[in-house]
Amino acid sequence: MNCRELETLLHPYLDGELTPAQRADVDKHLEGCAGCSAQLKDLRALHAALQAPELRHGASDTLRQRLGKALQQETTPKSSPHWGRWAVAAAVTVVAVSLGWHFMPLGDEDDAMVDAAVAQQQQAISRKHITDFNSTSPSLIENWLSHQLPFTPPVQDLAAQGYALVGVRVDKVEDQPAAAIVYRHGESYVTVFVCQAEKPGDKDLDQDTQDDYHVVYWTHGNFSFWSVSQLDATELKRFGTLLRAAG
């Protein structure tokens, strides 16, 4: 066995995938070749580094819930082709959860918007850039937005209900222009991302959780609303109910 032949076997050698005869040949070559032994040492170091805990990211509760729902929606297979497809989906699910992939069923626009809204809020907080324009006046905020976006969403005053208007920034959610209207309740912020609805109409409140953020969202008229906060889920739903009722 020469060095070129051994190079193609190093990875399966480390992974324990060689036959006993192949492994014996590799061991014999390594005993007399300092260059290949050094290469094997480097590969072992790389494998060890890739197992470091900081490189592993656990799946969020939201991801686990979505994958669980996707599996539950699968009907009992009636033939082997259907079973094969279901088995592949289940295998992908296991890998996705173990690796922490943000996997979502195709076409689930709400889930995609929830993830994007939470990501934008996390980014705004990490950059300490919550607002572009500070004001407690709904009319002033609406006037400012009319010069920033191709649409002007309604801005409500909920101070009497315990949610003080702080200001607004212009953002994007899933590449959609959005007004990010910011309220404050105690020490917590609530950001309401308002986008133009893809399907105008009325949609009841729905809830989701991503990492340590709760999201309450609905559609009303020509706009979709995505309220994001670290407030308690029940409290955020109360906020969403109040905002939706205010129009």
pLDDT in tens, 76-108: 555 444 445 545 455 545 545 554 444 444 346
Helix axes 34-50, 20-31, angle to 10 degrees: 120
Higher pLDDT residue, 17 or 31? 31
Which long-range contacts (C-beta less than 8 Å, at least 24 apart) are formed by 25-31?
Answer: 25/1, 26/1, 28/1, 29/1, 29/3, 30/6
68 & 158 share domain: no
Structural domain including 217 reads 109-246
pLDDT in tens, 52-74: 655 555 555 556 666 676 676 66
37 & 145 share domain: no
Is 120 within the bounds of a domain? Answer: yes
Is 170 within the bounds of a domain? Answer: yes
Is 70 within the bounds of a domain? Answer: yes
3-class DSSP assignment, residue 204: strand
Say if CB 232 and CB 187 are below 8 A apart.
no
Is 50 within the bounds of a domain? Answer: yes
132 & 175 share domain: yes
Is 241 within the bounds of a domain? Answer: yes
215 & 237 share domain: yes
DSSP 158: B
Identify the CATH number of the domain in which residue 195 sits.
Answer: 3.40.1000
Q: What is the bridge-based pairing of β-strands 176-185 and 164-173? A: antiparallel
Is 190 within the bounds of a domain? Answer: yes
148 & 114 share domain: yes
Say if CB 202 and CB 215 are below 8 A apart.
no
Q: How many domains does the chain have?
A: 3
Q: What is the pTM of this model?
A: 0.58
